[in-house]
Structure 1
């Protein structure tokens, strides 16, 4: 289904579109998005009648995890659309405050030879890189020097990142049909300043070039904030992942899929570890006290000692941490894989040939950092480690099946091949009604041969060979 359509940028090869698209993000689902670019034909009545310039397809998870994407446009035949590219910027609307603004103008500069001006306003906020980013563009008011624009409402976090003292740049233009819009003037303000007066606030619209040239220059007109109201958007809902519908729900009368997977697999592989102390990490959650998203945190909240005693210790730490975190996203595998790979690489450097590491990932989401994950697995395939992935819930796990190199050799995004298959993926739903031993058997089926293959490739004999 169509999410929406931007405005048309007239006669412009480098357009910046003002229309925003608000999408509910569900990190446990694959939410595919298609951005298609067209050259508008005034005579066309259907979208397909416009000239197709190229498209870019990705998942919402990729956009969320990157915040900003710059990608080439692709034609229908899969080839690049020349030098054309698209930049997508996303921002989480975590602040549910909204702002409603009403603007008007007075005595703006006349720009049209056979008329007055056709003014519109653009609102820009300053990013962390100090560059200005378009936030909102008003409608065009035809043939007037005293425009009154319609009230508009935007999320406060979009306008100023939720900071009422953050600078906002307002630019006024005269619209031209050929796309050569004439600059009238600009000013800077903040939400705090616009909210100061009860009735209206006035700002001089300044054209810096005119100001330098003309000694008696005052301004290019006045922009008036007639109304500024900040409120709360009560339509947003965040849901409660601790309700019985959640996969993480701790049922007083039983278990859940996460605990079942931890116990089924952990009870077998823990026998191959001498001290039974296992580091347990979580990812894709907001942590107190600042509620920043972490993709690599100790579930016992002790980053210097993330180890849990046996599989029961992991289960207890998991249950204990749930009330203190907020489930979030995206689902990034690479940080966890690289974390274990560092241990494996360190053991290899210390010539501890007998050590082999097994990473168990239990997840209900699709992978948001696929390129980074592929690269991490290809590099990890050179180390003494294997990765077991158990998918819980009913999500589409096609991406995880792709990582399991049973069908073909896994390659990184640069084309480098994995030296061996180290990933085993199993969907938990196939074993919901089966004995836990059946799940463990399927999950661990490939692990012994992965271990022996590693030591054979490196020509490392067993440390304690059996007597002949």
Structure 2
């Protein structure tokens, strides 16, 4: 999720936040038949407009041999009230196993805004071909549901002695879960995988939002249907039953819940019919799936620290070619990076007092090199008031220090890690630490830094590195574990990726929000990932 800056934020909730998440369900009616010997095998692709271009967001499963598909896969979109979010739904007939859309026959498309769907809750529209003409009698129905309820349900299902449907073997069973729709018809919510050649299947546990399964109402009846899979799409019905989430929750690991699977036609015909097998609910658990916003609203504070590189490779700050030279506009790349990140993060810290540290300079009066000094020269109180305070302290310290070297990151990483380690003693999701390091390049203590980052990955902390100037930033890319897991020199792996590296030069001519979005893009998921890993819910959360 990207966050943009609003000039006057009102508390932690402003219009820049994703209001909620919306789940879109898609059905097709009377689709064009593109297959000669059978019906079309449709799937739906959702595109979103990004900077004037259509970008694929997600796609559904393929419905085999079906001109009136109800897709089980849902599209979940962050809904921003203040933005026009343009969407395009395109249907294709799957011909090959290729991911390339031009390999499949086009069945029509429909474009609208997310606001249009949300305000109507459900819309049915004509599908159009590329020339703007209707795609036969093809229609598309899109229904929206707000996912404001963050409870998720995890079900573990099995079957026993299911009816044999295949002449030369056993059945290939799968389950479909339905809930009652507003129109009184059953609406498909989830389809399990197919288990081949067995009458005693054990399906993989699956997790779906509780709102999807039963609209958040645990007493609501849901219908479960069991089928024998056929590759031509003509799946054989084995049996069905109705139950509720409340009833399924009676299942415990040691005491599974057993439900008879009934085929009503067989039940009518045969006097001594018992059932078409037993479906077993092995376990059913409801938990909460907390978001970044849940933690922030629960009172988690983001503790922001800045680390600034004052090594000699930056150049003399009085020389206009220096990266620390403050131009007539009153800025440089260091200041731009501090503003871009600090302006957003300061909204999440109630006292807005931020430690600002420097490294790689000789300090008066004895001109010893320091790798973690307070830029306000007050080691017992390195805090600056707001981003403005950091900027003032930075400008004031430049004439009083001598740029030197080497470029050691580990002392500052370990400095913040000490505070993050103290915060873990509270055993609550109350504080998360963010270290912004701004540097002109090559790291001198790579082994120590790698080790420090691997240790910090176990703590409530993230590191953002902004590279200024035009140096080779390969070492920074290496610390940012997007492509592979970072290892310490001891061989220990980072438990999660906590470093986000961004070269400032990529954003020199872009609006300043773009740098902030890029730099903070991974932060929300890093916060959530840490607290979930520690089994820490937001401070004021209700039990599921």
> Which position in structure 2 is the counterpart of 1:52?
106
Q: Measure how far apart 1:177 and its partner are.
A: 0.9
Secondary structure at the counterpart of residue 226 of structure 2: strand
CA contact (8 A) 1:99 1:230 kept: yes
**Consecutive aligned runs of 4 or more in structure 1 exceeding 3 Å deviation:** none
Q: Name which of structure 1's ranges 42-51 and 168-177 shifts more when overlaid on structure 2.
A: 42-51
Alpha-carbon displacement from aligned partner over 1:349-408 (angstroms, at most 9, x marks no partner): xxxxxxxxxxxxxxxxxxxxxxxxxxxxxxxxxxxxxxxxxxxxxxxxxxxxxxxxxxxx
Corresponding position: 1:8 with 2:33: no
RMSD of Structure 2 on Structure 1 (CA): 2.7
> Which position in structure 1 is the counterpart of 2:130?
76
Q: Measure how far apart 1:8 and its partner are.
A: 0.9
Secondary structure at the counterpart of residue 211 of structure 1: helix
> Which position in structure 2 is the counterpart of 1:230?
286
5+ residue gaps, structure 2, are 1-54, 298-342, 345-544
Q: Name which of structure 1's ranges 227-236 and 95-104 shifts more when overlaid on structure 2.
A: 227-236
Alpha-carbon displacement from aligned partner over 1:167-217 (angstroms, at most 9, x marks no partner): 010000111111111111000111110111323111100000000000000
Alpha-carbon displacement from aligned partner over 1:102-127 (angstroms, at most 9, x marks no partner): 10111111111122111111111113
Q: TM-score, normalised by structure 2?
A: 0.44
Q: Measure how far apart 1:129 and its partner are.
A: 3.3
Alpha-carbon displacement from aligned partner over 1:272-322 (angstroms, at most 9, x marks no partner): xxxxxxxxxxxxxxxxxxxxxxxxxxxxxxxxxxxxxxxxxxxxxxxxxxx
> Which position in structure 1 is the counterpart of 2:272?
216
How many residue pairs get aligned? The number is 249
> Which position in structure 2 is the counterpart of 1:134?
188
Q: Take 1:124 and 1:219, find their aligned partners in 2: how far apart are those partners?
A: 20
> Which position in structure 1 is the counterpart of 2:508?
none
Q: Measure how far apart 1:89 and its partner are.
A: 1.2
Q: Measure how far apart 1:16 and its partner are.
A: 1.0
Higher strand share: 2
Q: Measure how far apart 1:235 and its partner are.
A: 2.2
> Which position in structure 1 is the counterpart of 2:95?
41
Corresponding position: 1:203 with 2:259: yes
CA contact (8 A) 2:162 2:200 kept: yes
5+ residue gaps, structure 1, are 246-468
Secondary structure at the counterpart of residue 72 of structure 1: strand
Q: Measure how far apart 1:45 and its partner are.
A: 5.0
Structure 1 residues 7-26: aligned runs within 5 Å: 7-26=61-80
> Which position in structure 2 is the counterpart of 1:90?
144
CA contact (8 A) 1:108 1:184 kept: yes
Q: Take 1:115 and 1:104, find their aligned partners in 2: how far apart are those partners?
A: 19
Secondary structure at the counterpart of residue 145 of structure 2: coil
Structure 1 residues 91-240: aligned runs within 5 Å: 91-199=145-253, 200-235=256-291, 237=293
Q: Take 1:115 and 1:9, find their aligned partners in 2: how far apart are those partners?
A: 25
CA contact (8 A) 2:251 2:281 kept: no
Q: TM-score, normalised by structure 1?
A: 0.50
Q: Measure how far apart 1:67 and its partner are.
A: 1.1
CA contact (8 A) 1:96 1:236 kept: no
Q: Measure how far apart 1:237 and its partner are.
A: 2.6
Q: Take 2:271 and 2:290, find their aligned partners in 1: how far apart are those partners?
A: 51
